[in-house]
Amino acid sequence: MAASATPLPTLTTKELTSDQEVRWCPGCGDYSILAQMRKALTTVGVPREKLAFVSGIGCSSRFPYYMNTYGFHTIHGRAPTFATGLRLANPDLQVWVVTGDGDGLSIGGNHLIHALRRNVDIKVLLFNNEIYGLTKGQYSPASRVGTSSKTSPGGSFETPVRPLSLALAAEATFVARTIDVDVQHMVATFQKAAAHKGSAFVEIYQNCKIFNDGVFEYATDKSVKAENVLYLEHGKPMLFGKDRSKGIRMSGLKPEVVTVGKDCGLDDILTHDEAAEDPTLAYLLSRFAHDETPNVANPFPEPVGVYRSVRKPTYEEQLEARITEAAAKKGKGKIEDLFKAEDVWTVAE
């Protein structure tokens, strides 16, 4: 497909818009994600009929109905499995999985882990609003400690899942985070995910206006955002803060926040390498959580952007290779031979 001399197909956002009425709550972060997805896909060079959106259950999972592509709204938590089957049958398609934190991390946690570890070529978008929206406001596996909800009166006390840590532990080959209101960043992240060959995992901070409004305000409010968010750029030092004076430095095996020019020079600041084969540093970045360091003098910022992007053989490529290998070794199978693969005997007339 890439080697073709004909220009890549381009689409308009209108062409990517189905005729179904969008029914999310007013002000929901999902609207922005939908709009940026349509925008991102206008330039990735995949024709409409080769795009498929597969979702589970939850607010986010209505997504496929609003895209004028192929779409499959499946069952709770299992979207990665349907997407895997779709890729096995039809390796030409670009398959996006749309899931939420309840869908993808709770009921579907197992499938997420296994799709990522197999490196199935699917792009998983995890809309994380740290709450159950469609079932009306119960805490989710991503809810931070203390989240007060209908099922966690007095505040939740379960350790939340860190979606990116989980994805990296599963050896996902592409891992990124973006934010619903950060539209340009989101478009760029989607485009990078689309270009990645293998399983891509993108966490999107998404505001639930009704049940968990403002949970990511520290990362979206312009007055504090610069201090709280670290934009990862491949090959660049990890700097943040209003005047980009703060940075991440390693002290032995421990990262620390330092001020450039005061605590150290620019050379001491950790450089981001998304292509590192070893996911250890990416994992370390995934541990930076805003809520865990509210009272620390130098709190860690939450990194957004691409944590990891490495090329490894996909599940589908390896399966196809095994099929080709088997056919080359034993000959392409004929049904007649298959029937007679065991000892046979003949009964004469």
CB of 291 to other proteins, least distance (A): 31
Strands 200-205 vs 254-259: parallel, antiparallel or unpaired: unpaired
Contact between 311 and 276 (Cβ < 8 Å): no
Element (H, E) at 165: helix 163-169
| CA distance linking residue 238 with residue 253, whole number of Å | 17
Q: What is the side-by-side order of every strand in the sheet holding 246-251?
A: 239-240, 246-251, 254-259
CB of 16 to other proteins, least distance (A): 10
> Could you give the C-alpha distances from 234 to 3, 237, 247, 286, 297, in angstroms and in order?
27, 8, 15, 16, 28
Tokens (6 digits) for 239: 């700097």
CB of 11 to other proteins, least distance (A): 12
Enumerate the β-bridge partners of residue 175: 201, 308
Residue from 239, 238, 231, 252 nearest 304 by CA? 231
| CA distance linking residue 111 with residue 263, whole number of Å | 44
Rounded (10°) angle between helices 29-41 and 183-195: 50
| CA distance linking residue 52 with residue 62, whole number of Å | 14
Amino acid letter for position 36: Q
User: How long is the chain?
Assistant: 349
Residues making contact with other proteins (CB under 8 A): 18-20, 47-50, 52, 54-55, 64-65, 67-76, 78, 80-90, 92-93, 110-111, 113-114, 319, 322-323, 325-327, 329-333, 335-336, 338-340, 342-349
Residue 152 burial (CB count, 10 A): 16
Residue 211 burial (CB count, 10 A): 22
| CA distance linking residue 128 with residue 307, whole number of Å | 17
Rank residues 83 and 239 by Cβ distance to other proteins and give the closer one. 83
Rank residues 253 and 328 by Cβ distance to other proteins and give the closer one. 328
Element (H, E) at 186: helix 183-195
Residue 112 burial (CB count, 10 A): 26
